[in-house]
Structure 1
Amino acid sequence: MTLSLDAVVEAPGRIFFDALRRRLTGSLHTHDEPGFDDIVSPWNLAVAMRPAAVVVARTAQDVVETVRFAGAHGLTTGVQATGHGAERSLAGHILIMTKGLDEVTVHPEGWARVGAGVKWAKLVAAAAPYGLAGVNGSTTDVSIVGYTTGGGVGPLARTYGINADRVRAFEVVTGDGVFRRVTPTEYPDLYFALRGGKGAAGIVTALEFDLIHMPSFYGGAIYFDGADAAAVIDRWRGWADALPEQGTTSFAIFQLPPLPEIPPPLAGRMTLGIRFLWTGEPSEGARLLNQIREVAPVILDDANLRPYTEIDHVHADPVDPMPVVDPSILLNGFPAEAAERLLTVAGPGSGSPQVIVEVRHLGGAYAREGAHPSAFSHRAARFSVLTVGMAVDETMAAGTLAHAREVFAALADWDTGGVWPNFGVPHDAVSARRSYDEPTLARLREIVDTYDPEGVLQAGAYTRAVA
């Protein structure tokens, strides 16, 4: 029998957490101890994680012991590394923090092994001396494992696809408390589920994946005044569709606060950023981006030939923890009418509260299936749309979310009904059906039932919610 969270929180002593503490090389903290909230706080400060206890794991065996303890006492477990993509309902009774699993090994022949707590930034720095890089996300501040188990779509997507397709092996603890090594030939069902299924099928402790040869790239971002957004986006639409696969691009409507750390041309006003990463000959990348530069005056030009260690210049995502509301959708097209509708609700004069409204162009290698089937279900999507607004309090959060829904309603004619698992973490029936198609959900449910028959992993609950 699985106990209610309230029952565990109200009477933690009867759950014998001390018995688990004695088995760990890491540490265990209960909800009534000083500093507990700081330990469990995720990157998104608007999400309050409320488990009864947290285990800060130092080894994979700590994860095994915690999952077995939870199973023996009718409890559930959640997992958190860097705290990106946090969802309160996924904390479980015991939240396992994997940020201490921080091993990094780069093999010069072109692959890497990382622990579950490793952020992309650490891997980028370790791989650079060999001229290697990973197919990372829009910011290197997120964990490699969390990004990859959700598919892994980043600024190299049109050239190199998703990182889930580059995985050689997982080391994972499944809900039955067993540590397994998973490859295309060892537990192929888990190999399918862990690439796109987030943490539903197991808690990943280490990951091995292929790297690419990329010592440098041409790219970054160029910025325009918000008043020129309509003209620039109109050119961008056709330009993006015509790009060879060596190019991946997105645009973002920014409303950044007037703070000292914000570049003066962007602070306290609405601007438009065109992000671009070109993996081919740099001069050709510059020639292509000049076709956008010529549309309107560029107020800040941050695109040039860069070492790969400067990959974060492309999206320039914030890294400091903050309270945000950041829903997303996927589109099957972005014609002129869609651009006009978007600008009406989120462009100059709209009164939009969003700090960022982003549209990413997809296709290319992203659209092609990998060598092995995976739980990633959105290859046919042609664009993604993300809104990011502040959520300092409940009133602000509600207003920001209501406006995001207005943005999505304006684009409803092109909405696929789907969302990337990393941008809309599956946690209930509604989010599950947006994250996966029905055949994938059915297969995930079968795999979860096989390896977690008692429902110990909270992340797998969504598969049963759609049964």
Structure 2
Amino acid sequence: MSSSPHRSQPEASVPASFQTGFPIRPDRLVEARTADDVREAVVYAARHGLRVTAHATGHGLPGAVEGGVLVVTRALDAVTVDPVARTATIGAGATWGAVTAAAAPYGLAPLNGSSPSVGAVSYTLGGGLGILAREFGYAADHVRSLEVVTADGVPRRVTPEREPELFWGLRGGGRRLGVVTSMEIGLVAVERLYGGAIAFDGGRAAEVMARYLEWTRTVPASLTSSLAALPYPDLPQVPEEVRGRYVVSVRVAFTGDAAEGERLVAPLRAVGPALEDSLREMPYTESPTIHNDPPFPHAYYGEGLVLRGLDAERGGRVLELAGPGAPMMNVVQLTHLGGALAGRPEPASAVPHRDAGFLLGLISVLDTTDVPSVRALYGEISGALGPLVQGRAANFCFGGGDRTHGFHEPETAKRLAGLVSQYDPAGLFGGPYEG
């Protein structure tokens, strides 16, 4: 790369983002092919007083990118697996699909999320709540080392022994401490799982919610699950069973044997006739079929509310507010937490709200609505939940700009703010941290 990052051309020159709801118009665009390209971009931005935004796949784009330097890390997509150490070294542009595929031949798996096209590094920096989370905890807690360029343009190898405070903050503290160019993560010995989804007619959403909440109190930590409610479009590519219908589904990932999996999900099947039932034993590489996240770019806004717990009455009210009668199309996902997520790993990380019971994810399609209307709905939902709302989940706040309120508990937020002021006093990566 030259010593002066090139000016971006009109929007067509900016690499496509999975999130299409917000414009990306930087003053300078750097398509990094090496870690040194990232370093040069950061030095250039600091010299000219420009803000730096890192961009891999664009799933978690926090909002519009206006001005500054956009560092596109998509080409830093190398994945190397050490089957003996059970680790993988992954570049900033690597997706979970690529990491899963690289680990599978050795009988290993990463702690990935539900979508194979999400950038693995950015996901992990935000904590990383994966499909096996209740058994193995947060992805951030399995990071062994990170390569990061801080605001002073210095490339640093960060480990528990070297710069332990920065190691703590990068894992769960997000992207305000530098641009991570690669990280080494631990893998788990998982080759297959019992999983899938069971879908019911959305007219029974409140009943399914109540039964799901009751069921989560009985399952082992080796089972991670979520409930989702959404209206499916009436399109030919959508399975006929759910096409054009409002559907509530329970998604399951269980690492035990299939017979035990069948026993555990029996209470779900007892809820009544299902529209679709894909629960089965599968190789781990097929785990994206559990959630079937949309593979195509689209415009959306989202919020992640961390809940102390949830009762059937309030859960039903959430579904009522965000359901077919809402002023826009919404997806509701309630993820069961607990298990290993509640643990306190060593070395500690900045991942917050470990004692929470559930994560409520809300996603709204922006094609037919506007952000103020969505925010008004989310405010109503949050109000209905009242004291059950413990905080917000950074990885599930899509399009909300740089608002960090509620991401961390007060003491953690204060500690992160100190790190940001130490490593980025000029606010190159977003300004002061506000807890």
- TM-score range (shorter-chain normalised) is over 0.9
Residue 174, structure 1, aligned to residue 150, structure 2:
yes
Q: Greater shift after overlay, 221-230 or 305-314?
A: 221-230
Identity of aligned residues (%): 38
Q: Distance in 1 between matches of 2:379 and 2:245?
A: 23
Length-normalised TM-score, structure 1? 0.88
Aligned equivalent of 1:455: 427
Q: Distance in 1 between matches of 2:316 and 2:162?
A: 50
Q: Distance in 1 between matches of 2:26 and 2:401?
A: 18
**Conservation of the 8 A alpha-carbon contact between 1:60 and 1:205:** yes
**Conservation of the 8 A alpha-carbon contact between 1:324 and 1:397:** no
After TM superposition, the structure 1 = structure 2 runs for residues 131-170 of structure 1, keeping only pairs within 5 Å, are: 131-170=107-146
After TM superposition, the structure 1 = structure 2 runs for residues 418-457 of structure 1, keeping only pairs within 5 Å, are: 418-424=391-397, 431-457=403-429
After TM superposition, the structure 1 = structure 2 runs for residues 409-424 of structure 1, keeping only pairs within 5 Å, are: 409-416=383-390, 418-424=391-397
Deviation string 1:347-388 (CA, Å, 9 cap, x unpaired) is 4x6346334111111000011121112111110111111122
The 3 A distance-change label for structure 1 pair 457 and 280 is same
Q: Distance in 2 between matches of 1:149 and 1:435?
A: 13
Aligned residue pair count: 434
Cα shift at 1:23: 3.2
Unaligned runs of 5+ in 1: 1-20
Aligned equivalent of 1:405: 379
Out of 55, 59, 70, the residue aligned to residue 34 of structure 2 is: 59
Deviation string 1:242-267 (CA, Å, 9 cap, x unpaired) is 11101111101110111122111111
Cα shift at 1:449: 2.2
Out of 177, 198, 203, the residue aligned to residue 174 of structure 2 is: 198
Deviation string 1:164-194 (CA, Å, 9 cap, x unpaired) is 0000000000010000100111111110111
Give the counterpart letter for 1:79 in structure 2.
A
Aligned equivalent of 1:251: 227
Q: Distance in 1 between matches of 2:251 and 2:432?
A: 35
The secondary structure found in structure 2 opposite 1:88 is: coil
Q: Distance in 1 between matches of 2:193 and 2:176?
A: 35
Cα shift at 1:442: 1.8
Give the counterpart letter for 2:288 in structure 1.
D
Cα shift at 1:400: 3.5
Aligned equivalent of 1:346: 322
Aligned equivalent of 1:236: 212
After TM superposition, the structure 1 = structure 2 runs for residues 81-160 of structure 1, keeping only pairs within 5 Å, are: 81-88=56-63, 93-109=68-84, 110-160=86-136
Q: Distance in 2 between matches of 1:403 and 1:69?
A: 41
The 3 A distance-change label for structure 1 pair 358 and 352 is farther
Q: Distance in 2 between matches of 1:173 and 1:39?
A: 22
Aligned equivalent of 1:71: 46
**Conservation of the 8 A alpha-carbon contact between 1:224 and 1:273:** yes
**Conservation of the 8 A alpha-carbon contact between 1:330 and 1:384:** yes
**Conservation of the 8 A alpha-carbon contact between 2:63 and 2:399:** no
Give the counterpart letter for 2:304 in structure 1.
S
Cα shift at 1:90: 6.1
Unaligned runs of 5+ in 2: none
The secondary structure found in structure 2 opposite 1:82 is: coil
**Conservation of the 8 A alpha-carbon contact between 1:424 and 1:435:** no
Q: Greater shift after overlay, 209-218 or 223-232?
A: 223-232
Out of 22, 30, 51, the residue aligned to residue 7 of structure 2 is: 30
Cα shift at 1:92: 5.6
The 3 A distance-change label for structure 1 pair 189 and 427 is farther
More helix by share: 1
**Conservation of the 8 A alpha-carbon contact between 1:77 and 1:92:** no
Root-mean-square deviation (CA, aligned residues, Å) is 2.0
Residue 47, structure 1, aligned to residue 22, structure 2:
yes
The secondary structure found in structure 1 opposite 2:49 is: coil
The 3 A distance-change label for structure 1 pair 91 and 199 is farther
The 3 A distance-change label for structure 1 pair 353 and 256 is same
Deviation string 1:103-129 (CA, Å, 9 cap, x unpaired) is 110111211001000000001111111
**Conservation of the 8 A alpha-carbon contact between 1:331 and 1:415:** yes
Give the counterpart letter for 1:48 in structure 2.
P
The 3 A distance-change label for structure 1 pair 402 and 40 is farther
Give the counterpart letter for 1:157 in structure 2.
A
**Conservation of the 8 A alpha-carbon contact between 2:193 and 2:284:** yes
Residue 369, structure 1, aligned to residue 341, structure 2:
no
Q: Greater shift after overlay, 405-414 or 128-137?
A: 405-414
**Conservation of the 8 A alpha-carbon contact between 2:170 and 2:177:** yes
Cα shift at 1:155: 1.4
